[in-house]
Amino acid sequence: MCGIVGYIGKKPIVPLLLNGLQTLEYRGYDSAGIAWLGPENDLCMFKKEGKLSNLRSHVDALHFHNDDAVEYRGIAHTRWATHGSPTDENAHPHTSADGNIVLIHNGIIENYTELRDELKAKGYSFKSSTDTETIVLLLEDILKTETNFLKALQRLTSRLVGAYALGIMDKRQMGKLYGVRNFAPLVLGVGDGEMFLASDSVAIVEHTNEVVFLKDGQIVELTATGYHIEDFAGKQVITDSETIAASQMILDKKGFRHFMLKEIYDQPDVIRRLLSEHLKGDTDPVSILDKPALALFKNPKRIVIVGCGSSLNAGLVGKYFMEAVARIDVNVESAGEYRYRDTLVDEDTIIIAISQSGETADTLTAIRQCKEKGAKVVTVTNRVDSTMARESDAVVNVHAGLEVSVCATKSFVAQVVVLYLLGLQVAEDRGTLKANELENLKHQLKQLPTQIETMLANTDTVHTVAKKYGSKENMLFIGRSMNYPTAMEGALKLKEVSYIHAEGYSASELKHGPIAMLDQDMPIVAVLTPGPLYEKMISSCQEAKARDAQVIAIHAGPVQQEAADTFDDIITVPTTHEWLSPVVAVVPMQFLAYYIAEHLGKDVDQPRNLAKSVTVE
């Protein structure tokens, strides 16, 4: 969602802040802004709607250069609109009426209407339609009766309801920069005679990998040489910095046209990495969980998987698999729904939180609530430095590498493979699978990278299918069993990047409503892999065909002659174990979405309205 970068030090401030924003660009935004203060304390501030390049070319035209060896401080922001459309006026930073305070904000202030009315009644006027402007004007108002800036920030936080990470400068607080965190990520970077502030360490890791992850309810005061943290009650918090790995953060398309395409091609290596780390030979035990984490799965009353979007779809594959191999009852819940339910979670519950970013607001809140009720939380994430990872009892790294395209591809596949490994390890521990079944699954898991590579080597058919159906306005994706979630994932991919309306269903649901939609303008993508429900899938396809729908089969192995007439197009995928088939079946769906989006000229890596990390509700 929104991005924050802040700096205090002697480096050229404008390129530093803009380059920081550029590293956050992939996460999705609709406008950007920058502000800095130099030795004369003159505020330079620029805001532009649209791409960061708009802001960059505007600022570049000024030919601004720092005075050598002089300290500057500045803040910059990419905005993903929540209140007010993406215009220059609504872009951050926002300033106080007296021009002293400059502020950027990630998150949502839920009581902003009430605060706005209160401030208006006091004579303040608003230049934007954002919730953020209420924060800066409220702070200005508080500072009329509170001269201590940290105390003023504490009073400010006591009035704000919602999620927020703030970056603040005040002309009167010379040489200082402030950060505030409440349910939105904020990290500070420690340099040599310079300090950084960011909503994600990605934005600052080029300069320092010594960081402090602020906790909710904390305020930081930065100078070029140090930091001072207090909680919202004014109590000092002593926190040492930690060192994070810098290597994951490199943004490189490696010659591919888009990150999404590169990330689809990364998938065999992602799976190989996971398997080489956690599954040596076919008869060796799986080691995805360490001993204490594995012990949690010995006899839980219930397991609940929570996640959103693609992570939720991965969770559903995990549920089917874990139930099948480990014989444990597993529920899967959309985190945004779960957090508002009066759930039966207790100390005998294991929560498996799945999140690529580890920062998704709904999933994070769900796990916090479950922890409060005594549950143990295992987080499966691509970001072991994330808030979710830091707040969990155990963390499993999916090791997918930085996923830059907003549309999740390799992280989905990595999550599914992690859930396979987790299921197998728990099955091994509980003795719920026969040795030969275990060995067979492990053996077939190991074939997946090479099988995916054969698909990556020849994408002609899926390319042709994409061209043929790319101008349709609707598409239906169907599957059964473990490929029901795959169908939902295929539909989600298509929606996200091509904006074509698509829905994923269990084929069993077709007759309960969606079949009414079928005609020559509603193609169906059907996943057919070997297993007890294969014939049922064929019947569903025939029923669709009888309603004039064109049927695109994603089919494992060769198609029998009698079934072939049912399909208008066939995309062949390698044959694997029924339970592992989602990993191969999803790949052509990712390509289908990618090629259609590219064909339609869409912004593949940064689809409209979407953000990579959804840090607000």
Residues forming the active site: 2, 612
Enumerate residues 6+ apart whose C-beta is below 8 A from 119. Answer: 126, 134, 137, 138, 141
- Residue whose C-alpha is closest to residue 414's, from 398, 395, 396: 398
Query: Is the torsion defined by CA of 127, 119, 176, 185 positive or negative?
Result: negative
Enumerate residues 6+ apart whose C-beta is below 8 A from 342. Answer: none
Among 30, 140, 200, 496, binds ligand F6R (CB under 6 A): 496
Contact window for ligand F6R (CB under 6 A) among 124-132, 357-365, 367-375, 525-533: 357-365
Instruction: Give the nearest distance from C-beta 391 to ligand F6R in angstroms.
Output: 14
Contact status, residue 525 vs residue 474, Cβ threshold 8 Å: no
Among 75, 180, 308, 402, binds ligand F6R (CB under 6 A): 308
Among 87, 208, 218, 363, binds ligand F6R (CB under 6 A): 363
Instruction: Give the nearest distance from C-beta 311 to ligand F6R in angstroms.
Output: 4
311 binds ligand F6R (CB under 6 A): yes
- Residue whose C-alpha is closest to residue 219's, from 156, 297, 132: 156
310 binds ligand F6R (CB under 6 A): yes
Quote the CA–CA distance of 529 and 550 in Å, as a whole number.
19
Among 356, 540, 550, 615, binds ligand F6R (CB under 6 A): 356
CA dihedral 338, 340, 345, 350 (to 10 degrees): 40
* Prior bond of 93 cis (ω within 30°): yes
CB nearest ligand F6R: which residue?
309
Contact window for ligand F6R (CB under 6 A) among 41-49, 51-59, 308-316, 594-602: 308-316
615 binds ligand F6R (CB under 6 A): no
Cα of 163 vs its chain's centroid, Å: 17
Contact status, residue 478 vs residue 505, Cβ threshold 8 Å: yes
Residues 380-409 that bind ligand F6R (CB under 6 A): 407-408
492 binds ligand F6R (CB under 6 A): yes
Instruction: Give the nearest distance from C-beta 327 to ligand F6R in angstroms.
Output: 28
Contact status, residue 551 vs residue 416, Cβ threshold 8 Å: no
Contact window for ligand F6R (CB under 6 A) among 90-98, 109-117, 159-167, 355-363: 355-363
Cα of 146 vs its chain's centroid, Å: 39
Cα of 87 vs its chain's centroid, Å: 25
- Residue whose C-alpha is closest to residue 383's, from 411, 405, 417, 425: 411
Instruction: Give the nearest distance from C-beta 36 to ligand F6R in angstroms.
Output: 31
Instruction: Give the nearest distance from C-beta 409 to ligand F6R in angstroms.
Output: 8
Among 527, 554, 614, 616, binds ligand F6R (CB under 6 A): 614
- Residue whose C-alpha is closest to residue 599's, from 407, 487, 468, 406: 468
199 binds ligand F6R (CB under 6 A): no
102 binds ligand F6R (CB under 6 A): no
> Of 273 and 612, which CB lies nearer to ligand F6R in the complex structure?
612
Residues that bind ligand F6R (CB under 6 A): 308-311, 355-357, 360, 363, 407-408, 492, 496, 613-614
